[in-house]
Every structure is written in structure tokens, then in C-alpha cells.
Structure 1
């Protein structure tokens, strides 16, 4: 073969080999470029925390006393000394009833007393006149005994007249209707001239003693169990004493400035509602709270060494809660947890499924899947639980 042809073939071979080598290098580079490293996710370590649970319950307020003001005698309303919403003191005059028959009875009783006293004087004179005659034997003992019986009869008549007067004065006093307690006057359905009797359906008014106000609310059976387990004490009285002061939120969303305390818990669950009734007492020095008003009672429950996780770190599926737990190989695993119904702000209180030292993905419940490998980015405990420390 000529030299020229041989050189040409050798050059083509070298060119082809170069193309193959370059092609192989290119394929290797593309293959390495397609391999993605594990995604970064923030991870924190579970550590026991101290926290306070705040749970609100709808409540209805009632004054310490709410008393119907009813007359004890019949009569027409002659005067009204108060208005609806007035603050009154115990013994303060509220109404004056017109009942002339009781005034007349008083007058007649006084007259009867005066007459009885005059009769007694006459009977005493007769006795004093008869006695010397009997002593001298001029008249018989019978005459003296008769005069003495007459005197006793007149004295009895005086005593009866005095009793009648006392009763008449009491009845006349009932025409002045006063407040039995300190409190606030309710509605007044009657006006001047209205006839009022002891059997009238509606009271003259009501007086509510609201120096202390009771808030009534209910807990369902599960909430009651959580409450009983979280408050120290072996008896109901001990648990009530160990319960921290409770807060009250008013109907407009504002916080009531005075703290209250739990006083009673119903010992029997309502079979219809499945709930237990609670009563909390709040001082009401400026009468801001009124009977019949509504609000929300907040019962704080202090926890120590509780397993807490941010709510954003968990997800709910078919009524169950799950988190992603990181293992030693940086693989995440679905872990079911049990949480309390009560929450500590933005945190779940975990009762089972996690322990101290577990590593949890902070925020990846939407993008992560089970057995995914990640690159953990550790978070400090202070950053995770900073809301609890504010």
C-alpha cells in the first residue's frame, strides 16, 4: 500500500478514538450531574419543658345573691324611690305602698289600748273600795272576788289591744319596702298606682348582690380527666386549693382585671350533655360584672417536664397525629403521637409516642415522605421553644 494512503488511514483511526473518549467523558459528567444531594431540613431535639396550658370555657355570670323583692301586704304603689340599675344598700327604702286599712288598724288599736287602760283604772278603784269593806265584814268575800276578776279581765283586754297594735304596726311597716342586701336593682315592671298583692306573679323588682360574681361553665368528660390528672391533690378540695387563679375574658374580648378562683366542681356528670359543672368566683369591686352577662373562663394548668412540640412539626391524618422522626442514618420515619386536647399556645403536649432526645423535623410535613434521606440542620432548643419563654 502506498505511504500516502497508509498515513490517511492512521489519522482517521486516531480521530475516531478521540471522539469515543470525549463521548465517554461527556456521558460520565452528565451522569454525575443528575445525582442530587439530600435536601436540607431543620431538625430539633425533643427536651422536656415547663409550660402553662390555657383553655377557655364559655361561662354565664350570676351575682352572689339575686333576690326577688315582693310585698308582704297588699297595697297600691304610692312612691318609687329607686330606678332600674341603681346601686342600693341593705335597708335602703325602695317602695312605699298605700294601705289605709293598716293605718286605720293602728289608730283603732291605740284607741282600744286607751279604753282598756281606763277600764283597768275603774276596776282597780272598785277593788280598792271593796277590800276594806270585806276586811270589816260589811260585805262578803264574793264581792271582792268579783271585782278582782273584773280587773283581771280589763288587764287581759289591754294586753290583747297592745298585741293588736304591735301586729298593726308590723303590717304598716311592710308598706315600706326596703332592700334586704347591698346590690343593684333590676327591672321595675310596675308603676305608680299599680295594685300589688303578695300573690302577684312578678316581683316589684330584683336586687342582685354583685360584690362577688360567680361564673358557671362546664367541662366535658375528657377535659375533666385532663384537669384532674394535671392538678395536684388526692381529694377534690385539695385539687381546688392547688388550682392556680383563673382569668376571665369579657364579651367584648377584653381581659377582666380581677383574678378568680375555682370554688366548686359538680360531683356528677350530666347524663344529657356528658359534662361537669364548674363554678369560679370573681371579686367585682366596681360592679363591672352583672348577673346574666357572659364571658370565657380561662383555667391555666402548669406543666413541668412535659414533652412539647410545635404544632407546625406535626400533621393530622384521619384524626391521628404524626411527626417525622430522624434516625441515625438521617432517614425520616412517620411516628404516631398522642396529644392532649389542651394546647400550650402554639405547641402540642405529647402524652405518648416521643421521648426525651428524639430528633424531629421542624417543618417538613408537606414535602417529606416516609424513609426519605435528608441533610439535618440542627436548631437550638431556645429557638424552638422561644414562645414558651416570652
Structure 2
């Protein structure tokens, strides 16, 4: 080949030089084309090292609020509503009159039973006089003792009639007292569905009103079986009652996502699970000195959980697949590997990881949608501390 080039060069020096230049240019183009057709360089993605640090997470549970005492105010006697002393939403004290039922029939009943009592007492006095009259006669054998025994029996019957009449008078007085309905406790008046002149009675299904004592308010919420098992394992105590007492103070999140200023405490839990919902109910109590909370309000009970040292992973560095949470870690040769993690809690934009990643392991922060197992990346180290300064736990 070299011999042929020499011959060609000797015969066509100018043509050979031109051909050589063309070959060099084409060779450069081919090399450039080969580079452009090859694999692209690895993607540069931010990577941080997982680190353990103290933090606090929160769990929120939907809650329904009720006053500490909710009393249905119902009439004990039948009659027409004659007077309403209070208005809806008013605050009343124990013993304060609320309603009055027309009492004329019950006053007449009291008068009638009082007259019957007076007649019974007169008969008792007459029977006693008869016994007193016959006693000396029997002692002197003037009359037989059968008459005295008969008189004594009549006296006992008269006493029984007096006792019965007294009971009827007492019952009439009670019914007359029931015509004025008073507040059994301090609290706020609810809706009053009845108006003046309405016929009310013990057979009515709807109460006159609902009286709520809201100095303290109960928040009822349910915890799933999974959450309950975690609560049982993490909180100290030999019994459930002891564990409930060890729980920290809880917060109440209002419907507008503001935090109620007073902290509450969890007092009790139900003795068994609701089979239909797979949950168990708890009761938290919140002080309500300003009357801001009322029966029927809703909210969320917010329970805190402190971690002395837990691995922190930003939620942006995770993705979900089939109800599991995954991260991408960087292994040998900068190849990424997806790993499932077990989350023990979350706070703001972070997960507290219980299993799946170790301290110091490199985790990809963003760009997860472009990754799959085995892909090579170019790690760009970033500081987790700098991220925490911008978005604290």
C-alpha cells in the first residue's frame, strides 16, 4: 500500500495532497459523528447524606367536640308552654328558670288532693275517738271486745287513707313544681324548637332544648388499629390507662387550620374496637374559659411525638409505589438503587425514617422521575443542614 502511495505521490503530487486533506476532514467528521451518536454523559443530580437528629412529629385525628355536660331539657308533665324565660345561645346558671308550663290544672289537682287529705284526717280522728270511747267500756265488760277490735281496725284503715292522701298531695306538689323547668347545670342554651302555646309533654321525642356545660370541652377522635399498636408499643406504661397518662399534652386544630390557644390532655379510651371501622375511640379534654368552643364544633386533635435521634429524609427525595415509600440511594460507580423505607412519622416537609436507610448513606434529592435502578449519575453533594435552615423540622 505504501508503495502505491509513493507511486501516486510521484506521479500526482498535487492530487495526492488534496486527497489526503479530504481524508483527514472526513475522518474528523466521522469521529465527531461517533461521539454524538454515543451515550449521553451521566445526569448531574443533588445528593445528600442521611443524618440522624432530634425532632418532633405530629399525628392529626378528626375530632367531634361536645360539652363536658350535655343535658336534654325535657318536661316532666304535659301541658301548654306558657313562658320561655331564656333565648337560644344564652348562658344560664344552675337553678335558673328556663320554661314554664301552664300550671292551672296542677294547682287544681293539688287543691283536690289537699281536700281529700283533710277528709281522710277527719275520718282518722273520728276512728280514734271511737277507739277511745270503747276502750273503758270493754275494760268494765260493758261491751264485748269485738266492737273494740272493729274500731281499732277502722282506725288503721283511716290512717292508711291519710297516708295515701298525703302521698297524692305530695305527688300533686311535685307535678306543680315540674311546671317550672330550671337549669340543672351551668351552661349555654341550644336551639329551642318550641314556641309559646306549644303543647309539650313527656311523650315528645324532641327535647325543649339542649343545655351544654362548656367550661371544659370533650374532643372525641378515633385511632386506627395500626396507630393504636404503634401507640401501645412506643408509650411507656404497663397498662393502657398508664400509657394514656404518659401521653404529652395535645393541641386542637380548628377548622380554619389555626391552633386553639389552650392545650388539652387525653383522658380515656373505649374498652373495645369498633368492628365496622376498625378503630378505637379516645377522649381528650380542653379547657374553654372564654367559651370559644361549643358542642357540635369539629376540629383535629394533634398529638406530638418526640424523637431523640431519627434519620431525616426530605419528602421531595421520596416517591410512592403500591402504598410504599421509596428513595434512591447512590451505590458503587455512582449507580442508583431504589429502596423502600419505613416511616415512623413526618414533620412539615420531612420524614422520620425507622428502617430502609442508614446514617451517612447518599440519597438523591431531586430528579427522581428520570431515574431507575442501575442508572449512573454524577452526584452533586449538598448539605442537609443548609436545607434544614431554609425549611426547619
TM-score normalised according to structure 2 size: 0.78
String of CA shifts for 1:322-365, please: whole Å, max 9, x gaps: 33323465x14223122327422211222322112212233342
String of CA shifts for 1:125-148, please: whole Å, max 9, x gaps: 6666777x7499595475993796
> What's the counterpart of residue 358 of structure 2?
355
Asked if the contact 1:127–1:144 (Cα under 8 Å) also holds between the matched residues in 2, the reply is no
Mapping of residues 152-167 of structure 1, within 5 Å: 154-167=158-171
> What's the counterpart of residue 4 of structure 1?
none
- Asked if 1:106 is matched to 2:110, the reply is yes
> What's the counterpart of residue 53 of structure 1?
57
**Change in CA separation of 1:322 and 1:197 when aligned onto 2, cut-off 3 Å:** closer
> What's the counterpart of residue 194 of structure 2?
190
**Change in CA separation of 1:153 and 1:216 when aligned onto 2, cut-off 3 Å:** closer
> What's the counterpart of residue 321 of structure 1?
325
Comparing 187-196 with 99-108, greater Cα deviation is found at 99-108
Q: Distance in 1 between matches of 2:166 and 2:322?
A: 84
Q: How many residues are matched?
A: 381
> What's the counterpart of residue 69 of structure 2?
65
> What's the counterpart of residue 80 of structure 1?
84
> What's the counterpart of residue 336 of structure 1?
339
Of 246, 261, 267 in structure 2, the residue corresponding to residue 263 of structure 1 is 267
Q: Which runs of 5+ in 1 are unaligned?
A: 1-8
Of 337, 345, 348 in structure 2, the residue corresponding to residue 345 of structure 1 is 348
Q: Distance in 2 between matches of 1:85 and 1:343?
A: 41
> What's the counterpart of residue 97 of structure 2?
93
Q: Distance in 2 between matches of 1:45 and 1:322?
A: 16
Q: Which runs of 5+ in 2 are unaligned?
A: 1-10
Give the Å deviation of 1:379: 3.8
**Change in CA separation of 1:218 and 1:388 when aligned onto 2, cut-off 3 Å:** farther
Of 287, 306, 313 in structure 2, the residue corresponding to residue 283 of structure 1 is 287
**Change in CA separation of 1:200 and 1:327 when aligned onto 2, cut-off 3 Å:** closer
Give the Å deviation of 1:218: 2.5
Comparing 280-289 with 146-155, greater Cα deviation is found at 146-155
**Change in CA separation of 1:146 and 1:219 when aligned onto 2, cut-off 3 Å:** closer
RMSD: 4.3
**Change in CA separation of 1:127 and 1:266 when aligned onto 2, cut-off 3 Å:** closer
> What's the counterpart of residue 3 of structure 1?
none
Asked if the contact 2:336–2:377 (Cα under 8 Å) also holds between the matched residues in 1, the reply is no
Q: Distance in 2 between matches of 1:370 and 1:169?
A: 87
Of 216, 225, 240 in structure 1, the residue corresponding to residue 244 of structure 2 is 240
> What's the counterpart of residue 219 of structure 2?
215
Where 2:72 maps in the other structure, the secondary structure is strand
**Change in CA separation of 1:326 and 1:91 when aligned onto 2, cut-off 3 Å:** same
Of 166, 172, 176 in structure 2, the residue corresponding to residue 172 of structure 1 is 176
String of CA shifts for 1:178-225, please: whole Å, max 9, x gaps: 222222222222222222222123222222232322222233333333
Comparing 201-210 with 171-180, greater Cα deviation is found at 201-210
Asked if the contact 1:55–1:298 (Cα under 8 Å) also holds between the matched residues in 2, the reply is yes
> What's the counterpart of residue 6 of structure 1?
none
TM-score normalised according to structure 1 size: 0.78
Where 1:53 maps in the other structure, the secondary structure is strand
Q: Distance in 2 between matches of 1:279 and 1:304?
A: 28
Give the Å deviation of 1:79: 1.0
